[in-house]
Structure formats: structure tokens, C-alpha cells
Amino acid sequence: MRLESGLEIGGMAVPNRLYRAPLLECAGTGPDTADTLVEELEPTAASGTGLIFQGATIVRGEGGCVAPNMTRVDDRSFVHGLSPLPDAVNDHGARVMVQLEHGGLRSMETWHRAYREEHPDVQQLAVSRPPSALRAADGLGLLEYDVHVLATEEVYDLAADFGRSAAYAVEAGYDGIHIAGANMGIVQQFLSPYYNRRDDEFGGSLAARCRFPGLVAEEIRDRAGDVPLATKVPAETAAPAFAKPRLTFEDGVAIAERLAAAGYDALVPVECSTFWDMSLIKGAYPERAWADERFESGYEAAFGSRWRARLVDLATRLQSRLHEFEPAWNAEFCRAVRRRVDVPVLCEGGIRDRATIDRLLGEGDSRPGHGDGRTHESDRSESEPACDAVGIGRPFYAEPRLAARLLREDDAAVACQNCNNCVVPQATGAPGVCRTPSVLRERGRLEKAGAYDTADPDAADD
């Protein structure tokens, strides 16, 4: 497989195998949301990216956001108003799928002090009673929990909300739906034995814990039709030792098999933690972002005080040492899943140059024989693909037209330095943009050299 070759996901033709992984657009839910999304995502399509995943949107009108200024997609008329985005993306021959999410115990009502004070009656939706570590953090005042554990009939209602939002998106022209199945959102909380201690049909065995994302797929098919459907698949291999029981590597492969059988058309395997920590992004401590005076008051509002913000700063510094940057950190998991399923496997996480992309896609397009469990480097063929498409996330903050270079230059590498200065300010509601001067200078140099030029005249301006 070549990066430039086409791909089919659930009957949807994608012009190449490069996709923009879902990121926080922080576009809000207002009259300018569509314009904000077009401004951010159209240059990515115009530069040649085959598939764009719009970042997590929330399926309910209250609670569930994991960061400020997220977009809610519970209102039909509002979602229909987002149609300029799929229209703009499709005009460049690309496809766009919207990611649906609910944060559950990860939501802002847990960690964002100012939001909690403004919405004192909003409870966190919980799969089960929070684990002891989170209850301890609540007792120490580090987090705030006032949970509502979903009754069985309410689980069905939540799945229906995913289905309704998917139907609104399809009516608005989106090409497909992506379920946020990892990063400690509520879908992962259903899958994980660390969070899911239910004793009804949605808890207990791995098969029962997979029932919720299966039900979500059923609701989407019933309400939105035979739309292309993708999901992330978690393995909680980066969790701290005390977080038990948790999803093992082998559990993640088994979940992928079940979700493929449940009707998901593409899978995105990701190794993550049981917590929302630096394992999600990996890389350097974002020193510039924490030191930026423009965000100081926002950090204090989010975390409750200056000392609490400093505590989160310290935790981020420690986490960055535990989760150092690792190129293509999900490749092994993707390869193991790809051996066991018959749907496209998408790989993202730490992919930063064309050479790595070519290695991940391999040299052939035939599937290898089935394997068991975790594979090792010595057991692999160099030509065995790890995935069917390759996704890049944060580097698009720095280079919206990055695809033009990756598709044209065999030795292309991203300008991104994995410094994470783009991510931390999002706790204040700031947009995800590159804030590192050396990276921005490199982008300017590349622009002057014509590195982002394409044959499409519409790609000339953001």
C-alpha cells in the first residue's frame, strides 16, 4: 500500500490513506461554529488529506464536555447549520466524519472549578460508582464528584442520544461517524473493568462490557442508515500499577474483534491509561504554555486557585517523564488488531514523518495470517502492514497544509516538536494552535519555499 492509494471504509471511497486524527477544535456551539470549523479544517482538505475527523462533539445538551468550548450536537437545527463544513471538505475531494463523545467521569463538572460553580446541579454520568482512587481525589479536594450512576434504561437512552446526533450529522452532509471509544470518555468507561462494575446486561464479562458500543452502533444504523462508522479501541496498557483491573493488550484485541462483528467499519486501536493524563499525548513538558501569563487567570479559574494550578503544572511535569514521546506508539497494537479483523485498521499516535508512514503501510495489500496476542519485533515481516491508513493530529495545529508535503516528499517530516504547548491552554478554552516560535518560524520558511503549494487554487489561502 502507498499513502497515495485509495481506501474504502464502509462503502465510502477515501482518496488516500492519510487522515487528520480528531483534535479539539474548541469551536463552541453558536452562530459562528460552522465558520470556525471551515476556517480550521478546509485547508487540511485542500492540501490533500483524504479523510478528516472533526474532533469530539457532545451528544447531550448538558454536561459531558471534557474541555471548554466544545461543540454540542444534540440539536437538529444547529447540526444542520454545520453543513458548510462537509460541503467545503467534499469540494476538495476529501471526506469528513464527526466524532461523537460524552465525557462521563472525565467531564468538566469533575475538574473545572469555575464551570462547576456556574453549573452546580450538573452531575457526572457514571457507569458505576467511581473507583477508590477518584473518590480519594474527591476527598482531598483535587476533583469534585456528584455522580449519577446510569440505570439500565438510562444506558439505552444515552445510546439513543448517540444515534440521534449521528442522524443529524448525516442529514447535514457528514460522510460518516466516529465514536470516541478511548481517552477515558464514557465509552471507554463502559469497556473498562476499572470503571465498569455493573451487575446488569452492560457489566461483568468482556462481552457484556462491549454491549454499550454495540448498542450505539445499532442506534446509529437505525436512525442514520448504513453510514460509515468508526471507533477507537482502547487497551489500558499505560495505566499506573495500582489501577486494577484494567484492559490488557489482549483485551483490546478481543474488543476490536467484537466491535468489528458489531458493525463498525473501521477501528482505531490506541494504548492509553485509565486516567486522563500525558499518556494521551506523550512528549515534552509544555513549559511555555504553563509560563504564559495570558493563560494564568484561565488556569486559576479552571483548577480553582493559583496553588491548585501549580499542582496540576507539577503533575504534568512528572507525567511528561513517565510518558516520553515514542514514535508510532500504537503501531504494535494496530498490527495485532489488523491480524484479527476484516475491516480497515487506522493508526495514529506519534507518527511524524513519511518514512514511518511508509513502514506502517508496508509494501503489500494482502492480509497476513491470524496471530495470537502480542507480537514482537523479531516476529514481524518488514513488509507486513500495521494498518490501512495513517493519522496525524497535533502537527496539523502547526501545519494545516501538512498533507501537501507528506504526499509529495518521500523524506518529509513534520515541523511539530511534540512540546505540547498547543494542548494545555485548551483547559482555559483557548483554541488548539501552535505557540512554539521555532516551529512557527519553520512553517514560515516552508511557506516561503512553496512547500505547501498544491495544484488546487482554493488551497492558496486559509
Compute the distance between CA of residue 124 and CA of residue 303 in angstroms, rounded to an integer.
17
Q: Which is nearest to 79 in space by CA: 180, 10, 179, 161?
A: 161
Domain boundaries, the chain: 7-110+159-281+324-460
Level-2 CATH architecture, domain 7-110+159-281+324-460? Alpha-Beta Barrel (3.20)
pLDDT score at 394: 97
pLDDT score at 462: 45
**Three-class SS of residue 200?**
coil
CA-CA distances (angstroms) from residue 133 to 49, 103, 129, 142, 299? 41, 18, 11, 11, 24
Length of the chain as a residue count: 462
pLDDT score at 183: 92
CA-CA distances (angstroms) from residue 115 to 109, 148, 185, 462? 6, 18, 18, 33
pLDDT, block means (10 residues), the chain with 462 residues? 96 98 96 98 98 98 96 98 98 98 97 96 97 95 95 98 98 98 96 98 98 98 98 97 97 98 98 94 95 96 95 95 95 98 98 97 51 42 85 98 97 97 95 96 97 67 46
Q: Which is nearest to 396 in space by CA: 344, 439, 427?
A: 439
The Cα diameter of the chain in Å comes to 61
**What is the SS3 string spanning 294-353?**
HHHHHHHHHHCCHHHHHHHHHHHHHHHHHCCCCCCCCHHHHHHHHCCCCCCEEECCCCCE
Beta strands in 85-155 (DSSP E): 95-101, 124-126, 147-149
Is the Cβ–Cβ distance between 203 and 123 less than 8 Å?
no
Is beta strand 12-14 parallel, antiparallel or unpaired with respect to 7-9? antiparallel
Q: Which is nearest to 168 in space by CA: 59, 37, 27, 42?
A: 59
Q: Is the peptide bond before 245 cis (omega within 30 degrees of 0)?
A: yes
CA-CA distances (angstroms) from residue 442 to 113, 283, 437, 439? 37, 19, 9, 5
User: pTM for the full model?
Assistant: 0.93
pLDDT score at 382: 53
Is the Cβ–Cβ distance between 76 and 64 less than 8 Å?
no
Residue 220 has which C-alpha cell?
A: 446509529
Element (H, E) at 234: strand 229-235
